[in-house]
Structure 1
C-alpha cells in the first residue's frame, strides 16, 4: 500500500474527530491549555507543578482556570515512570507521587528500589516502617508486655508500635508473594524455552506436543517470555506463540498483541495480531496508545506498520496523528518490509523494562 492509497483510506475513515492523549491538562485563564503530568506531591497552594517532556514547570494557581486529571490512573502512573529518573532521588519522588495517588503497592516497590541503590536512605526507611537501632535499620517490634501498667503516653506508644509491627508483617507477606511469583516466573521461562525449541524440532511428535502445551497456557506470567521468544523464531512459529498469548485472559496480553501488530516483520503475523485486537475492542484504551507511538517513530517500517494497523482497526480518534505522520515532509514515503527487526526494538516511549521489569513479567494493576 503506497502513501497516496493509505491517505485515501484515512480520508474515508475520517469524521468528526477529537484528539485524545493520556495526560493531565491545566487550563489557564484565557483558554490556553498545558498538558503533562501533575506532580501532586510537589504542588502546593501557590503553584501547580507540571511535568512535560521539557522538564518540570511551576504554574501559578492564580493563572489557572481549572485542572483536569486524566481519569486513567494507570496511564498517569506509566507517564510518571517515564518522567522520573531511575536514581535514588528519582525513584523516591516516584514513590511519593504514588503515595499521593493511593498506589500503595507501587509506592513500596519504588521505596524498596531506592534502598537497593542507597540502603541508608532515611526517608525511604521511615516510610517503610523501619526505625534506627544503633547502626542498623530494623522493623519496630510489638510492645513487650501488655500486662504492665501504662500511662497515656505509654499506651499511645504501644498502639503505634503495634501498628508498625502489623505494617511490617504485611510488607513481609507482600515480599513473600513476590518471591513466589518470581519462582513461578522462572519455571515458566524454562517451560517456554523448552516449547519454543520443540517447535523447531525435526521430530513431529515434539512439535505436536509443543503446540498442545502452548494451547493450554493461561498464566499471565507466560506473556513476557512468549513475547520475547517471538523475536527469535520463524514466522510460522511466531503465529503459534501469538495465538498462545491471545488465549491468555489478561490485559497485559493485549499489550503484547499490539506490539506484534506493529513490530513483526511478517505481514501474516501482523494481520493475525490485528484480528486478535479486533476481538479485544473493549480494551482499545490499552492498545491504541502503543500503536499511536509507532507513528512518532523515525523508522519508516514502524510508521507504516502503525498506519496500516490503525487503518485496519478503523480508529477515527487516531486519524490526525496518522495524517500528520504520513504528510511530514521529512518522512520517506515508501514501504520497507522488515525494517523493524526485533521485538526488543520497541515503539518509542514504551520500554521492555516497564512491562517486564528486569526481564521478569510481573502483573500490573490495570483499570477495569
Structure 2
C-alpha cells in the first residue's frame, strides 16, 4: 500500500513521530540495522527506509515505513533527511513511554548501557539527578564525586586545584609551560618578565616622565616571548587601563602566543569593554587555535562564562564547532546559597518576649495593649533584630542559553530553538549529506 502526501502536511497525521497509516495484512516489517528519518517542515517525523528514485525526479521522496507501508512525500514539505541506527529509534520509543520518575529513568539508563548507547544513557542519568540531585549512583555513573558538600566531576576537581589536562594527564599550569617550551624560550620569557614588571611600576608611579617612558616601552613590544610576562603582569591587574593596554599590545604581537591571554580576557574579564576589545582583536587575526579555549569554556560551571564562550565562537568559530554548541544549548548549573533555616521560627509570647530571644515589649506599648488601645494589634521593630539561623543549600538550575542559540543560528542558518534532539538530527543529516534536499524552483 502507498500513500502520497502533497501540499501542506497536517502534523496531526503523526503521533509521537510514527506515521499513522493502514498496513497491508501480512506486510513484512523492515528490520534494518539503520533507518532513515524524514523531518517535516510543519512538524512530525517519518521513519523507515528511503526508496531510491532512479528516474532522477527531485519533486518527491518515497519511504517504506518500519511497519511496511509506503509513503511518497512532496519534497517541499521535507526539512531534512538523516540516517541513524535502529536501536536509537527503539530508545526514543521507550523514552516517550517512560514515566518521569527516578526509578523509570534508571531502568531506561540500564537498558541504554546494555545496548551501548552512551549519550542516551547519560541523558537518562541527567534526568535522574534533576529529580534527585543527591542520587549517589547516578552521580557516580556520570563521573561525579562529592567534595565539600558539592558534586563535582574529576575535571572540575582538578581545575579547582589548579591543574589542566595535557595529552591525557593532569599537570599544573607551571608544569604545562615547561612542557610546551624549551629552555631558550623560558630564558627569553624570564628576561622580558623582569623588564615588563619594571615598566609597569613606572606606569603606576607618580613621576610623569617614568609614566610616559614605561607606557611607550610596553606599547613598543612585538616579541612573542613577552606574551607570558604581559599576561602575568597585566591580565589580572585591578587597574582597568593596564588591562586595556594588554589588549592593544597583544594585538601587535604576531603568532599564536597572544591567543590564550586574549581568549581569557574575552571570557573572564569583569569589564565588558575589555571583553569586547579582546574578542575583536581575535577576529582580526587567524584565531583558529583559540577556538579550543572557547569550546572548553562551554562546559564551565558558571553559566555566564558559557554564554560568553558561545558569543566568542559566534565571532571566531566555524561550522566545526556546531556539535559542541548543540551540547551547550541547555546546561545545568549548581548554585550555593544561604537561606534561613526553616526550623527557626519566631513569634510573640504571652509574656511579651519575642521568640524566646529576650526582647520585651516597651512598657507603654504593653500597657496600651492591655488597655485595648490597639484593637488591630501592633508591630514592634526591636532595636536589635533577632539572629536567624542560616544554612547553605545547593540549588540546581537548568539554563536555556540564548547566546548558544544565536551562535548556532549564525553558523548554520537554521533554527530549531532549544530542541537539542532536532539539532543533532539535522547536523547528522548535514554532515553525512544523506538528506539535504535541493530547493524546488
> Which of structures 1 and 2 has the bigger CA Rg?
2
Superposition TM-score tier, normalisation by shorter sequence: 0.3 to 0.5
TM-score by length of 2: 0.35
TM-score by length of 1: 0.41
* Larger RCO (alpha carbons 8 Å, 6+ apart): 1
